[in-house]
């Protein structure tokens, strides 16, 4: 059994290590699944955060389910965003970011 977590930074570090061991790590795409999203996060905040990494096609936010989908125009942009923002603390919660397959019916920007 693991010892209890002491800080958000420690949680982020553990989650990042666990994520890097997952099999889909080698299958980048231009779609990101953002997990561990606080219910208080807004669409505008996600757009402001992720648009720093490239042109976005869409964002679909499900705050009460704890996740969002972010769709970039280029795979390289999604890879950079995932690399830089994995474990980023937003509203007190570390973001978990996974590559995902294309998803239909997204909210266009």
DSSP string, 31-64: EEEEES--TT--HHHHHHHHGGGS-EEEEEEETT
Map out the domains of the chain with their CATH numbers: 8-100 (3.30.70.330)
Question: What's the pTM?
Answer: 0.72
Block residue for tokens 């890097």: 20
Q: Please write the tens of the pLDDT for every residue from 30-87.
A: 999 999 999 999 999 999 999 999 999 999 999 899 999 999 999 999 999 999 999 9
Residue 63's pLDDT is 86
Residue 84's pLDDT is 97
Residue of higher predicted confidence among 7 and 84:
84
Residue 105's pLDDT is 43
Beta bridge partners of 93: 90
Beta bridge partners of 108: 58
Residue 58's pLDDT is 94
**Between the CA of residue 9 and those of 5, 34, 37, 91, what are the distances in Å?**
9, 18, 16, 13
Residue of higher predicted confidence among 10 and 70:
70
């Amino acid at each position: 059994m693991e010892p209890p977590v002491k800080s958000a930074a420690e949680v982020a570090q553990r989650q990042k290590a666990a994520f890097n061991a997952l099999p889909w790590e080698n299958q980048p795409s231009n779609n990101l699944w953002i997990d561990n999203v606080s219910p208080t996060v807004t669409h505008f905040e996600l757009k402001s955060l992720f648009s720093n990494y490239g042109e976005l096609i869409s964002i679909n936010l499900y705050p009460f389910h704890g996740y969002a989908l972010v769709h970039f125009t280029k795979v390289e942009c999604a890879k950079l965003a995932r690399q830089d923002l994995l474990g980023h603390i937003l509203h007190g919660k570390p973001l978990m970011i996974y590559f995902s397959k294309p998803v239909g019916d997204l909210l266009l920007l």
